[in-house]
Amino acid sequence: MVKTIEVVSEVSKVAGVRPWAGIFVVEIQEDILADEFTFEALMRTLPLASQARILNKKSFHDKCSSLCSQLLQLFGCSIVTGLNFQELKFNKGSFGKPFLDNNRFLPFSMTIGEQYVAMFLVKCVSTDEYQDVGIDIASPCNYGGREELELFKEVFSEREFNGLLKASDPCTIFTYLWSLKESYTKFTGTGLNTDLSLIDFGAISFFPAEGASMCITLDEVPLIFHSQWFNNEIITICMPKSISDKINTNRPKLYNISLSTLIDYFIENDGL
């Protein structure tokens, strides 16, 4: 289920629920960010190091994507913790995955797609030990056709690759598998340091229009994956089954937040 958020107060009400898990999605609207005043004002809400990383991106689209992702990270953590975004302090794991220093028991994960940026957060997990989560957006435009599948053979397990070859819609299955694998690497925080072929989701030849969930144990950790279409991209989240049991769902609600709502939030909180 997708809920469209049009005003900041609606998000505050949602995130006030305990326990809670949700996916925030924001469209990368280059037309809005093409306004120099808006772009520069939003940039000033970020630390100088983050601004430099964004400005070093080659294309304007990549600059906009990175800016939207950084803003969504501040927005999501602020809404869920109740802290002003200027009070938030972030750090990074050994492979560069960000975490919130203010609250180590608020796991979140970020991802950037072709058209959207997304964030998966979980509130009120056990404070006995830190548990992480992962999210990925995958686009069918990354599929180059059956003739290019052989180039990706080393990315998939034997069972996955055979299922992909037999699929009636290989583009969708390729996108689905890619999102599953990437969400797991976002969960572990290892990214490109992971041998993706060792993450085996089995022979998959069909992806339902309404999405799909699976429970699978990887590296001795029982995990829940949920995948769904959001417009033309597949969003997949990954979380330990123990978290899923605590929040009593394996399918967190997805909240579609307009970029203008995001901008309004920073205006209301004296960021602009």
- Average pLDDT over all residues of the chain: 88
Degrees, nearest 5: CA angle 247-80-35: 130
Degrees, nearest 5: CA angle 36-32-10: 125
- 128 pLDDT tier (thresholds 50, 70, 90): low
Task: Return the minimum-mean-pLDDT range out of 50-64, 107-121, 135-149, 170-184.
Answer: 135-149
pLDDT for the residue numbered 17: 62
Task: Between 164 and 271, name the one with better pLDDT.
Answer: 164
149 pLDDT above the threshold of 90: no
pLDDT for the residue numbered 55: 97
- 32 pLDDT tier (thresholds 50, 70, 90): very high
Whole-angstrom distance, CA of residue 218 vs CA of residue 198: 10
Task: Between 75 and 194, name the one with better pLDDT.
Answer: 75
204 pLDDT above the threshold of 70: yes
Predicted TM-score of the model (pTM): 0.92
58 pLDDT above the threshold of 80: yes
CATH 3.90.470.20 at 2-268, yes or no = yes
5 pLDDT above the threshold of 70: no
Q: Where are the domains of the chain?
A: 2-268
pLDDT for the residue numbered 85: 92
Q: What DSSP element (H or E) covers 73?
A: helix 60-81
Environment class of residue 178 by beta-carbon count within 10 Å: exposed (0-12), middle (13-18) or buried (19+)?
buried
Mean pLDDT of 49-54: 95
pLDDT for the residue numbered 1: 56
Q: Which of 180, 184, 227 is nearest to 202 (CA)?
A: 180
Task: Return the minimum-mean-pLDDT range out of 119-128, 132-141, 164-173.
Answer: 119-128
pLDDT for the residue numbered 253: 87
Q: Which of 139, 75, 122, 107 is nearest to 271 (CA)?
A: 75
69 pLDDT above the threshold of 90: yes
Mean pLDDT of 157-169: 92
Question: How close are the terminal C-alpha atoms of the chain, in Å?
Answer: 33
